[in-house]
Amino acid sequence: GAGVSQSPRYKVAKRGQDVALRCDPISGHVSLFWYQQALGQGPEFLTYFQNEAQLDKSGLPSDRFFAERPEGSVSTLKIQRTQQEDSAVYLCASSLASGAYGYTFGSGTRLTVV
C-alpha cells in the first residue's frame, strides 16, 4: 500500500479484556517496529521484526504483550488481560531495510482501558 495502515484507529477495552492491534506495512518493507506512546511522552520502543523474525522484543513491558508477523508482512500486537496502564497510542513503523532509508509511521491505534 501507499502508507503504513493501522487498525483499529481507536479501541476501548474493559480492564481484563484481550485486544489485538493490526499493522499493515508498506509493501516490500522488510523491517517493522512497534512503539508505545503515553500521553505527553515520546514513543517508546516495544519490538522489531525483520521479515517474519522477531529480532528484538526487549521493550515489551510484560508477558501480557505479544507480537507476531507470521508471513513477513502484516503484524499483530496482542495485549492480554489489559490494565489501565496499557492505555496509550500504539504506533507501527516500517522501513525498506535496516533503517538506512528512514522509517514510515502509521497513524496509530489509541487504546483506552476502562
Partner 1 sequence: KQEVTQIPAALSVPEGENLVLNCSFTDSAIYNLQWFRQDPGKGLTSLLLIQSSQREQTSGRLNASLDKSSGRSTLYIAASQPGDSATYLCAPAFTGNQFYFGTGTSLTVIP
Q: Three-state DSSP class for 35?
A: strand
Say whether the peptide bond before residue 25 is cis (omega within 30 degrees of 0): no
Query: Apex CA 22: angle with CA 25 and CA 92, to 5°?
Result: 50
Write each residue from 50 to 89 as x if it is in contact with partner 1 (CB under 8 A), else as -, in one continuous string.
x----xx---------------------------------
Query: Apex CA 33: angle with CA 59 and CA 78, to 5°?
Result: 70
Binding partner 1 (rule: CB under 8 A), the pick from 19, 29, 31, 82 is: 31
Binding partner 1 (rule: CB under 8 A), the pick from 8, 12, 41, 112 is: 41
The strand pairing partners of 44, in sequence order, are 36
Q: Is 103 in the site for partner 1 (CB under 8 A)?
A: yes
Which residues lie near partner 1 (CB under 8 A)?
31, 33, 35, 40-45, 48, 50, 55-56, 91, 93, 98-108, 110
